[in-house]
Structure 1
Amino acid sequence: MKIAIGADHGGFGLKGTIITHLEEKGHEVIDLGSYNTDSVDYPEFGEKVAMAVKNKEVDRGIVICGTGLGISISANKVPGIRAALVSETFSARMSIEHNNANILALGARVTGPDLALEIVDVWTEARFLGDRHERRVNKIIDIENKYSK
């Protein structure tokens, strides 16, 4: 799977851990920054990853900031993006199986690296179930389309 990843300064360390892990698992990772711990603004990185997903340059994306909140809100402003802020494995699986999320958001200051890697593994291995869930995701898309005109 080809995955874009982006983080602000608060998520920089966890981003590196996740990149190494994903590459060891055979995934192709596109690092969209940040590239050090200097203070930066999370909306820029949420948008970069979201645009890579929207433009189909990658299959999925991962965004990380201190809490995961700001960067997930930013990514979700891009039409077509369903970024799910996840802090445990059950929601990671459900975000794909039921909601067809295309971006995983993590909070580096609230989710430790071991748990974050478990979440990433569950999330990358999960597949959208379709059926009644597709109907519901289509209703989300309809809401998005209604208000983005």
Structure 2
Amino acid sequence: MRISVASDSLDGVAALIGTELERRGHTVSRYGAVADPDDVQWARVSARAAQDVATGDADMAVVACWTGTGASIAANKVPGVRAALCTDPGTAAGARRWNDANVLAVSLRTLSAPMLGEILDAWFATAPSGDSDDLANIAHLRTLDHLPADSPPMH
């Protein structure tokens, strides 16, 4: 599988993410500090990894920043991306199963190497749901990708 990885720093597990994915047999493209230690703009590098997913240049992405929140927000701004901030294996499995998440966001502040491994295990072991309700929700998300920024809230 082709996976793009982005991080705004080399703190915590940042350097381990790409290495662990390669150990698992994936082809990794790196953005941000994991490619160039001076490239530290979380919004830009996370969006770049997410764009790889949206264009089909990557099958999935893993984005990281200090809390994981900014990386997930930036990735979710890219149409077609469903990024999920996951702090544990159960959340990672649920994000894949019910949300068909295609970008994993993680925190560099809170994630240990063993927990990273468990989250990746759950992420890759879980397939998206085929349940009609879950598929309808994913289809609805796709319609939201095309709303103008000034659209009124949906009720």
Please say whether Structure 1 and Structure 2 have the same fold, judged by a TM-score greater than 0.5.
yes
**Counterpart in the other structure of 1:29:** 28
Which residue is equivalent to 1:81?
Answer: 81
Separation in 1, partners of 2:3, 2:48: 12
Residue 16, structure 1, aligned to residue 30, structure 2:
no
Q: How many residues in Structure 1 have an aligned counterpart in Structure 2? A: 148
Percent identity, aligned pairs only? 32
Where does residue 122 of structure 2 map in the other structure?
122
3-state SS of paired residue (1:32): strand
Amino acid of the residue matched to residue 126 of structure 1?
Answer: T
Q: Which structure 1 segments of 5+ residues have no match?
A: none
Counting only pairs closer than 5 Å after superposition, residues 59-70 of structure 1 correspond to structure 2 as: 59-70=59-70
Alignment match, 2:97:
97
Secondary structure of 1:96's aligned partner: helix
Mean alpha-carbon deviation: is it higher for 94-103 or for 16-25? 16-25
* Local SS of the residue matching 1:93: helix
- Equivalent AA in structure 2 for residue 101 of structure 1: A
Deviations 1:92-135 (A, max 9, x none): 00111110011000001012221012101211222111222111
The residue that corresponds to 2:135 in the other structure is 134
Cα shift at 1:23: 1.2
Amino acid at match of 2:100: N
Paired letter, 1:20: T
What TM-score do you get using the length of structure 2 for normalisation? 0.87
Distance 2:67 2:36 in 1: 18
Higher fraction of helix: 1
What stretches of structure 2 of length at least 5 have no aligned partner? none
Structure 1 or 2, whichever has the larger Rg, is 2
Kindly indicate whether residue 3 of structure 2 is the aligned counterpart of residue 3 of structure 1.
Answer: yes
